[in-house]
Chains A and B, each alone.
Chain A
Amino acid sequence: MRGLVPLSRAMLLGFVRDRMALFFTLLFPLMFLVLFGGIFSFDTQARSEVLQVGDVPILDRAPREQVGEVDITRVDDLAAAIDQVGKGDADAAVEQHGDELVLHFSRADQVQAATVQGTIGSFVSAANQAVSGEPPRYRLRAEQVEDDSLEAIQFLTPGLLGWAIAMSATFGAALTLVTWRKSRLLRKLRLAPVPTASIVGARVGVSMLVALVQMAVFLGLAMAFFGLRLTGSWWMAIPLVLVATLSFLAIGLLAGAVTRTPESASGLANLIVLPMAFLSGSFFPLEGAPAWLQAISRALPLRHLNEGMLDVMVRGLGPSAAWAPIGVLLGFGLVVGLIAVRLFRWEAD
């Protein structure tokens, strides 16, 4: 394909010399990774803080290793303790009246509320057992389904990476098309003996390269600083990212085809990419979302990229888990790409 190499080189130079483009492609999503990674890793390490009001013999008699799961502070004033729990400064307050243990907690942080109830509940069971003198008959052993730890970073990295790739591929395609058309460079290229396939091919190649660089930087950073651990067939994320780039390029070309100025093109790209990122679970999981939202999200390529990456990169599924998302992404790219080609215009008027 004549012109593929010089056009790719020109696009790549235009990209690496444009500081704003570099920032939004690499640094901006990384800022989110650092931010979210920081917040959530702090959160998961935090132990329950329990205020013990007056004497609570059950706590005093609990086995050492169990008490190790909570931080216990002794206080005297019940009202003040409840107030602290209400404000979120402590997770629960405990008092004991005879044989009854009273636990005061706040619904504001439901995860902590459940954790602290579970822990204190187990203290009570242990105490009951000790009184009856019988060894426990039934025992519960909890085993996590996922490979290793359930740290937030495992779920954050694929989602944020997906968002970063969607953003740079969509914007890259939309802005190249509109800027080149507006500056009349497309007319110049129309006069050169290069097939349109070379222009599109150069954009595809450059965007794929950028996506792979994003992936390397993201995974490298998350592994080095935030303890990301990739599971067995993580490498299947590479073809996933490549076909997803095609889908996002198609969206970008469509946005570039229907807009006239770089400003409106990037506005439209934003309007598509940001809601798509939320609906695809890039920032937080979609498990709790209503069914109709789930249905919409299944029509979005980013959702399939995110799911596919989660499956192979952190859920430890085999390479075959990526086939379905790859198929969907290819189909999406093909359909939207064909529409974009039909709407393609060389000139502004």
Chain B
Amino acid sequence: MNVVIEVRDLRKSYSGVAAVDGISFVARPGEFFGILGPNGAGKTTTLEMIEGLRKPDSGAISLLGRSPWPRDEELLPRIGVQLQASAFFEQMTAREQIRTFAALYGVPDRRADEMLETVGLVDKADTRTEKLSGGQQQRLAIACSLVHDPEVVFLDEPTSGLDPQARRNLWDLLRSINEAGRTVVLTTHYMDEAEALCDRVAIMDHGRILKLDSPAALVRGLDAPLHISVEAAAIAPADARGLAGVEHVSEDGSSVMLTTRDAQSVLAELARRSALEGLQVRGAGLEDVFLDLTGREYRA
């Protein structure tokens, strides 16, 4: 089997408004698949239909060769789901929560305790979940969804609300899961995250997939210019405009920024003029691709 998830022409609308409007894609075994999109793009709805939490209006879903709807108890132990909003049993400590979830899958307590250690919550093991911080709850929810070592992992904005250390640690954890051959599907608003983790990303808006490719290929496809900036004292904007290959120049008091598609000659020329003070070069990233595709205005 070389397809883990296959989605064909999936649609779902809420009271006449399309939340997911005909999307198709496949995810292969061991793939790290990302879904990017602004608020309300339909990411969560898409994930929840694949997980079997919501019934699609139309379209076909195959998950590990089975249909997730109606609820399939054979399929459920093979998938792990972290929902965008975490949910726990009331009045229970972190350790009791994860042990309970583990027990639902027939997983021993020992493995649950290990998982708690993996997400760095050993110190908080005896704390009631309602007294954990938002980020700690998030880590616990992720640990609970991974405790039974699922073949396919769905994570809906797993790193929102995490501090930088926790974020990096979670990345390491997700990478190791993925390297162990698990398929991971994640949604995120962080472009660096998608670039660092995902083999392929789908950029979604208004319920449709606008582009689907590896992060590098998406950036290349954008054919975006480079931004080179130096200290304002290094070169006068008028001189900068005269350099060969420079398309656009802007200044903001402390620095001058040159936009170009021919970085080589512009940098060489700046070097010849000894105008490299405070040099910064920024290439296009996924963020530029994202903004280019989805626009800059706010979403509802």
Contact = CB atoms under 8 A, between A and B. Distances in A.
Given A9-B100, A13-B96, A191-B53, A179 B105 contact: no
B77 interface: yes
A10 B53 contact: no
A191 B47 CA distance: 13
A187 B83 contact: yes
B57 to A, nearest CB: 15
A188 interface: yes
B80 to A, nearest CB: 9
B104 A3 contact: yes
B106 interface: yes
Nearest to B79: A191
B45 to A, nearest CB: 12
Contacts of B236: none
A194 B106 CA distance: 10
A6 B144 CA distance: 14
Contacts of A17: 91
B100 A10 contact: yes
A291 interface: no
B88 A185 contact: yes
A13 B91 contact: yes
A14 B100 CA distance: 13
Contacts of A9: 100
A129 interface: no
B92 interface: yes
A188 B103 contact: no
Contact of A185 (B51, B73, B89): B89
Nearest to B54: A347
Contacts of B81: 191
A220 interface: no
Most A CB contacts (10 A, CB to CB) among B83, B87, B103, B104 go to: B104
A210 to B, nearest CB: 15
B101 interface: yes
A195 B87 contact: no
B71 interface: yes
Contacts of B74: 193
Interface in B62-81: 71, 73-74, 76-77, 79, 81
Interface residues of B, number: 27
Nearest to B72: A193
Contacts of A187: 53, 83, 87
Contacts of A298: none
Contacts of A347: 53
A335 B169 CA distance: 53
B88 A192 contact: no
Contacts of A299: none
A320 interface: no
B90 interface: yes
B100 A184 contact: no
Given A2-B104, A191-B76, A184 B91 contact: no
B77 A193 contact: yes
Nearest to A17: B91
Contacts of B73: 193-195
Interface string A9-31: 11001100110000000000000
Interface of B: 51-53, 71, 73-74, 76-77, 79, 81, 83, 85, 87-92, 96, 99-101, 103-106, 144
Interface of A: 2-3, 5-7, 9-10, 13-14, 17-18, 179, 183-185, 187-195, 347
16 contacts: A3-B103, A3-B104, A14-B91, A14-B92, A18-B90, A183-B88, A184-B83, A184-B87, A185-B89, A187-B87, A191-B53, A191-B81, A193-B73, A193-B77, A193-B104, A347-B53
